[in-house]
Chain A
Amino acid sequence: MTDVEKKISAIVRGLTDQKPGSQGAVTDDAAMNMRLSDLGLDSLEKMDMAMQLEDAFAVSLDEVEFLACDTVPDLVRLIEGSTSAQ
């Protein structure tokens, strides 16, 4: 797992841990393979996730492109694309 993947997985885990009854239920490996749409995030939580990613990687994400991502690998591609664009 690359550093980018690890950081993103940690953010995803952080969000799932906030859900009642889900604390510690998701490992880094599981986070890599899960669909973000299955997390049941509301738009405020999605915004929180986008802001955490922006802070962690010092990038500015396009909201529409972010919303199109449904897996951690999708997010990795988005982050890497945003980093190289800056």
Chain B
Amino acid sequence: MRTHPFSILAALIGTARYKFGQFLLNVLARHRASLPARARFELGWQFIRKFQWLFRGRDLSGNRYSSDWKNYAFMRLLAILNNGTDRFVPSIQVYNEGALLQAIEDQVGIVVVTLHSRVHTVLSRVFEERGISHSVIANSLAVQVFSELLGLRGKVDLVRLGDSSLLVARKKLRAGRLIWTCADFTVREPGTLYHDIYVADGLFEFAKNCGARLVYAVSNVSEDGIVEVFLSRPSIDEERASPFALANDFVDFCRTASTAPADWKIGPWTLRERSQTKQFDNFCVHRFPKNMRHRMHD
């Protein structure tokens, strides 16, 4: 299957629209630099909503996880606002927090499974604010900067995704730390621009092998510019269900909680571990505010 020329054209036009939107957003933020960060955010978010046809272009290109365009625009606005000394901390709203509290009560370790949504790193802030020590399995140190943009104060305890990650995570889990990570990964169809999106069932096997409790999480940006985090416990018996059944249960939850549901399939953990490269660090370092780039290094 080859990429249709119109798809490439649509992607190029989408990117151009989004870039133009970003440019205008930058100009707006600079023009109103004397205002407090909260007021600048309100202005910027109003602008994004009013001219959403520009920012919706992000749906069409460089969006392999099919995340909501609002999430991308929101993170871009945060990056612009935090490019100076005045720090802006976005508002967050956690739904069904009882799911987390219930898992904590069992005292057997917690694995929080989520999806890439551009704002998913807000989870580190959620746990930090509740005094829960946690570690994240992720591919890139960029998770630190993304988390800080979303209001994290401390340092992310990162377990690098790789062929040792789950064993390192098991050690941390045994030490009483909560583990959170994204279960989804993409595989590009050769010769095309299309990506299939998978949810790795290995993560559910990991939780079962460790005897840990599972908590599902999905994060989105609301129409009002608030980061919403939806939590849930599995709807099936996590001790008896197979990893595959749990992965499907997670996908069912994501379909209801995500503002941009995708066509998730179930895939092997091996591919999740190998789905990205360390070049990603170099790729995204240029996309962050200059005053935050140094935190991308070990």
Residue A51 is within 8 A (CB to CB) of chain B in the complex: yes
Contact of A46 with B205 at beta-carbon distance under 8 Å, contacts A63-B170, A63-B171 already known? no
Q: Is A47 an interface residue (CB 8 A)?
A: yes
> Which of B31-39, B160-168, B255-263 is the contact stretch?
B160-168
A43 touches B165 (CB 8 A): yes
Q: Closest Cβ of chain A: how far from B274's Cβ, in Å?
A: 8
Contact B162 A44 (CB under 8 A): no
- Contact status A43-B164, CB under 8 Å: yes
A42 touches B170 (CB 8 A): no
Cβ-based interface call for B269 (8 A)? yes
B264: Cβ under 8 A from any A Cβ: no
Chain B residues 158 to 190 lying within 8 A of chain A, measured CB to CB, are: 162-168, 170-171
Q: How far apart sit A51 and B210, CA to CA, in the bound complex (Å)?
A: 10
Q: Is B21 an interface residue (CB 8 A)?
A: no
Chain A contact surface mostly: helix
Q: Which residues of B contact A50 (CB under 8 A)?
A: 167
Q: Is the CB of B209 within 8 A of A43?
A: no
Interface centre among B167, B209, B273 (most CB of A within 10 A): B167
A42 touches B273 (CB 8 A): yes
Question: A56 at interface (Cβ–Cβ under 8 A)?
Answer: no
Question: Smallest CB–CB gap between B249 and chain A, Å?
Answer: 19
Chain B residues near A46: list those with CB within 8 A: 163-164, 166-167
CB distance from B31 to the nearest CB of A (A): 49
B242 to chain A, nearest CB (A): 14
A1→B66 CA distance, assembly (Å):
54
In the complex, which residues 201-233 of chain B have their Cβ closer than 8 Å to any Cβ of chain A? 202, 205-206, 209
Judge if B270 is at the interface, Cβ distance under 8 Å. Answer: yes
**Complex Cα spacing A43 to B168, Å:** 9
For the complex formed, measure the closest distance between the CB of A78 and the CB atoms of chain B, giving whole angstroms.
13
CB within 8 Å of A: which residues of B?
162-168, 170-171, 202, 205-206, 209, 269-270, 273-274
Query: Which 9 residue pairs of A and B lie closest in terms of their CB atoms, listed nearest first?
Result: A43-B166, A63-B171, A42-B270, A63-B167, A44-B202, A43-B165, A44-B269, A47-B166, A67-B164
Other A-B pairs beyond A47-B170, A63-B168, A63-B171, 15, CB < 8 Å = A42-B163, A42-B202, A42-B274, A43-B163, A43-B164, A43-B165, A43-B273, A44-B270, A46-B163, A47-B166, A47-B167, A50-B167, A62-B171, A64-B171, A67-B167
